[in-house]
Amino acid sequence: MIRLAIVSPCYNEEAVLEKSAERLTALLDELVGKGTISRNSFMLFVNDGSRDRTWTIIERLYRENKYVKGLDLTRNVGHQSAIMAGMLTAKDMADGVITIDADLQDDLNAIPKMLEEYEKGYDIVYGVKVLRQADPLLKRMTAQAFYRLQSKMGIESIFNHADFRFMSRKALQILSQYQERNLYLRGLIPMIGLPSTTVDDIISEREGGVSKYTFGKMLGLALDGITSFSIKPIYGIIYLGLIFLLIALCIGIYVLHALLAGTAVPGWASLILSIWVTGGFLMIAVGTVGLYIGKIYREVKHRPLYNVKTMLE
């Protein structure tokens, strides 16, 4: 029987917290009753520096509800780091951890399915949004465009998956070896390499409160998602430089033609040519320096070279 931890990041969630705890309690009761999870399974609410009564509510839930645990962060560190804090804290107290947003927009029916997959031997189970009707159109479109851009950049990530997932203790142990600061879990977790699968997640409306993902936070996450995993943009600069030199060549031919035909204005040729030639060389130079920085950046991340699946001794 698995000891399950449900980790939920909360930032100014006073409007939904009680309701969420109630629904999760009913689910845990049911799973304990069926003998799927052990009696000492729990939910861990991570208070990500909320400015409202979120922590007071967590404290009260902790006193009244045997499943509830709480973790209070000193300040707002953002969704990704808050989830990481919760997972690393729960890791040594549970056999597996499910992360789910506090607003419970994700599908609770997916949780028993995730546990079934774990029993089958999967260490990571991703919740994949099949219907996003409840998400605003703009959000749906930008999110999906972003997932596509990511895969173009060669980043391995799960389409339409947003941090609603199950991870076994073994997977968490490996995740804790990744020490990077610019956290983008959706890109990092597939790198773990343990057996993984997906279950359907039907998104519903927020129970209350408003979205905590401001446009700025979303843009920040998207930029982290690309720049923490891909150095392709640097190659982009070099290619642009090469294109500039190509244009310079075309202009050179045109200038030569103008000189021979006697239609050239004095001074124009040297000026226009040097702009494109210098521009091209500058971009190639910047891109080359960028490549070295790209290598330094891979070194400083100190990511594990390999992760062990099994060792027979």
Nearest to 83 by CA among 109, 101, 105: 101
- Counted residue by residue, the chain has a size of 313
Written as six digits, the tokens of 266 are: 């004095």
| Residue among 48, 95, 107, 117 that touches ligand UDP (CB under 6 A) | 48
Nearest to 165 by CA among 97, 84, 95: 97
> CB under 5 to 8 A by kind: which of ligand UDP, Mg ion, none does 95 bind?
none
Q: Does 12 bind Mg ion (CB under 5 A)?
A: no
Quote the crossing angle between the two packed helices 268-300 and 232-261, to the nearest 10°: 170
Could you tell me the smallest distance in angstroms from the CB atom of residue 16 to ligand UDP?
8
Instruction: Give me the sign of the Cα torsion angle 26, 135, 14, 85.
Output: positive
State the maximum Cα–Cα separation within the chain, in Å, rounded to a whole number: 93
| Residue among 42, 44, 69, 79 that touches ligand UDP (CB under 6 A) | 79
| Residue among 76, 89, 197, 228 that touches ligand UDP (CB under 6 A) | 76
Could you tell me the smallest distance in angstroms from the CB atom of residue 284 to ligand UDP?
40
| Residue among 7, 9, 61, 185 that touches ligand UDP (CB under 6 A) | 9
Q: Rank residues 188 and 283 by Cβ distance to ligand UDP and give the closer one.
A: 188
| Residue among 56, 133, 177, 211 that touches ligand UDP (CB under 6 A) | 211
Q: Does 82 bind ligand UDP (CB under 6 A)?
A: yes
* Helix (H) / strand (E) containing 127: strand 124-131
* Helix (H) / strand (E) containing 165: strand 161-168
Per DSSP, the three-state class of 74 is: coil
Could you tell me the smallest distance in angstroms from the CB atom of residue 11 to ligand UDP?
3
Site for ligand UDP in 84-123 (CB under 6 A): 101-103, 105
CA distance 171 to 91: 10
Quote the crossing angle between the two packed helices 79-91 and 215-227, to the nearest 10°: 70
Instruction: Give me the sign of the Cα torsion angle 146, 151, 155, 160.
Output: positive
Phi-psi region of 134 (alpha: psi -120 to 50; beta: other; left: phi over 0): alpha
Could you tell me the smallest distance in angstroms from the CB atom of residue 295 to Mg ion?
38
In the shown chain, the binding pattern of residues 261 to 290 toward ligand UDP, with x for contact by CB under 6 A and - for none, equals ------------------------------
> CB under 5 to 8 A by kind: which of ligand UDP, Mg ion, none does 11 bind?
ligand UDP
CA 114 from chain centre, in angstroms, equals 20
Q: Does 10 bind ligand UDP (CB under 6 A)?
A: yes
In the shown chain, the binding pattern of residues 92 to 111 toward Mg ion, with x for contact by CB under 5 A and - for none, equals ---------x-x-x------
> CB under 5 to 8 A by kind: which of Mg ion, ligand UDP, none does 67 bind?
none
Q: Contact residues for ligand UDP (CB under 6 A)?
A: 9-11, 13, 48, 76, 78-79, 82, 101-103, 105, 211-213
